[in-house]
Amino acid sequence: MPKLAMHWWILIGLVAGVAYGYVAALTGHTAHVLDFIAPIGRLFLNLLKMIAVPLVLFSLVAGVASLNDSSKLGRIGGKAIALYLGTTAVAIAIGLVVVNLFGPGQGLATETREKLLAAYGEAATEKAASAAQVSIVDQLIDIVPTNPFGALADAQMLQVVFFALMLGIALTRLSRRVEGTAHVIKVFQLLSDAIIEMVQVIMKIAPLGVFAMLAGVVADLGKDPGALGDLLSSLGGYMATVVIALLVHYLVVYSVLIKVFTKVPWSRFAKAMIPAQLLAFSSSSSAATLPVTIRCVEQGVGVDEEVSSFVLPLGATINMDGTGLYQGVAAVFIANALGLPLDFGQQLMIVLTAALASIGTAAVPGVGIVMLVIVLKQVGLPEAGIGLILAVDRPLDMCRTVLNVTGDATVATVVASSEGLVHEGERHHPAA
Ligand code: ASP
């Protein structure tokens, strides 16, 4: 391959994938894309998912054990959680301001509304049913795994994080009394390095994986070009509102946080994050993107592993600025479209419930809209309302996942800076 930075190759893969999927949809040749090309994308995603759990386990145990100061761990965790909550609340507020300014959904033709509700009503009921099973108390209790190996097997990230933290702390305590503990910690360190090495290898096929994922998504969306045109004309305003609000949050909140609270130049941060963002966009999953986010933040931004190994997996699970923002915009859009406008008090309620709902959203495609049901219920909107927006959820999921991942990286960088744990310039993996 000629010498081009990796993110350019991924970007080329992305554009080519969109173009290929589009042409296939236009010419009615979507079957081969869905049957043969999209699976390559799923294969690539499986490779990333394969390493996400071991990476979190090994690097977190190694990171915590090397802290040898548990008060530092509490401090880092406290700062990260406070920033995660704060940035999510701000994101939702930005979403609400933008949606109130633009007012999408007001005056949506009754006929369009009925058509959408009829076409997506059944799917909406299914989503609402899965949301009914979510209980916040149960989710909190479930952070402690009854069987850590089960947690690893089921990729329950928060449970893995909890177990890894406990194991790391236990090893640190043991190392004061038992000789040889340092060797065990070293093993975890080396295993974590080995997994990062695997990320390097897997990323070599990222352009192809991204091409295949995008071709699949676009071909699937464009199977029925007439219906797609109708959808865009009725829901285009809503989609644009979500995208504009996401951009405002990225350009204002993250750049201010990086510029004011760190010494990292914004341009270095923005450039380092591109591969993770492109992957988040293509996969719609912050969990699958996590190994690449970790690599970008450590090697591109220069954040020390002590912070990234803990703060990023935590963020991938609980911090979803993009999802919270989207849920706020979507709730107001649905209210407008149904002719049931929300007052100020109800919108404040949205900030609270969307923040909680985004924490409870799993970092995989399409869960944000399931958790939206909880937000709608809280402000007294019918849950069937999600039928209005279901058809265009995938592209918005792609966009909000980019923000989710960037938010985690921003907080990790700010926390690392406050602890003096950001290294100058780009760092390279020992084996790279
Ligand atoms: N796809 C999102 C993520 O993985 C979650 C969502 O909003 O559906 O970050």
399 C-alpha to center of ligand 1: Å?
A: 9
SS3 339: coil
Q: Hey, which of 358, 364, 370, 402 would you mutate to test ligand 1's pocket, going by the most ligand atoms within 8 Å of its Cβ? A: 364
Ligand 1 atom at minimum distance from 365 CA: 1
204-215 as b/e, with b when 16 or more CB fall inside 10 Å? eebbbbbbbbbb
Q: Hey, which of 323, 358, 371, 405 would you mutate to test ligand 1's pocket, going by the most ligand atoms within 8 Å of its Cβ? A: 323
170 C-alpha to center of ligand 1: Å?
A: 33
Residue 303 DSSP class = B
Rounded distance between C-alpha atoms, residue 395 and residue 309, angstroms: 30
Can you give the pLDDT at residue 223? 75
The pTM (predicted TM-score) of the whole model is: 0.89
Handedness of CA 365, 403, 425, 420 (dihedral sign): negative
Ligand 1 atom at minimum distance from 289 CA: 4
Rounded distance between C-alpha atoms, residue 256 and residue 262, angstroms: 10
282 C-alpha to center of ligand 1: Å?
A: 12
Can you give the pLDDT at residue 72? 85
Place of tokens 């096929």: 205
- Token pair, residue 225, equals 């070009």
- Token pair, residue 238, equals 């809503």
Can you give the pLDDT at residue 133? 63
Ligand 1 atom at minimum distance from 326 CA: 7
- Which residues is 422 bridged to in the sheet? 303
Ligand 1 atom at minimum distance from 287 CA: 4
DSSP string covering 381-429: --GGGGGGTGGGHHHHHHHHHHHHHHHHHHHHHHHHHHTT-B-SS----
- Token pair, residue 264, equals 């990292």
Can you give the pLDDT at residue 134? 64
Q: 416: number of CA atoms within 13 Å, CB side?
A: 27
pLDDT along the chain (432 residues), means of 10: 79 94 90 93 93 91 79 90 97 97 87 82 77 72 94 90 92 90 93 91 93 92 73 87 98 98 96 96 95 95 92 92 97 92 92 90 88 90 89 93 98 96 66 36
Can you give the pLDDT at residue 401? 97
182 C-alpha to center of ligand 1: Å?
A: 38
Q: Please measure the distance between the N-terminal and C-terminal CA atoms of the chain and give it in whole angstroms.
A: 18
Ligand 1 atom at minimum distance from 358 CA: 7
- Token pair, residue 155, equals 């990729």
Ligand 1 atom at minimum distance from 370 CA: 8
Helix then strand count (H, E) for the chain reads 19, 0
For residue 375, what are the CA distances in angstroms to 68, 130, 356? 42, 14, 9
Instruction: State the amino acid at position 358 in one-letter form.
Output: S
Residue nearest to atom 6 of ligand 1 (CA): 368
Can you give the pLDDT at residue 432? 35
Q: Using alpha carbons, select from 409, 209, 408 the residue that is nearest to residue 300.
A: 409
Ligand 1 atom at minimum distance from 363 CA: 4
71 C-alpha to center of ligand 1: Å?
A: 32
Question: What is the H or E stretch that residue 244 is in?
Answer: helix 225-248
161-170 as b/e, with b when 16 or more CB fall inside 10 Å? bbbbbebbbe
Q: Which residues line ligand 1 (CB under 6 A)?
A: 284-286, 320, 323, 361, 363-368, 397, 400-401, 404
183 C-alpha to center of ligand 1: Å?
A: 38
CATH class of segment(s) 6-418 = mainly alpha
Domains of the chain, by residue range, sit at 6-418
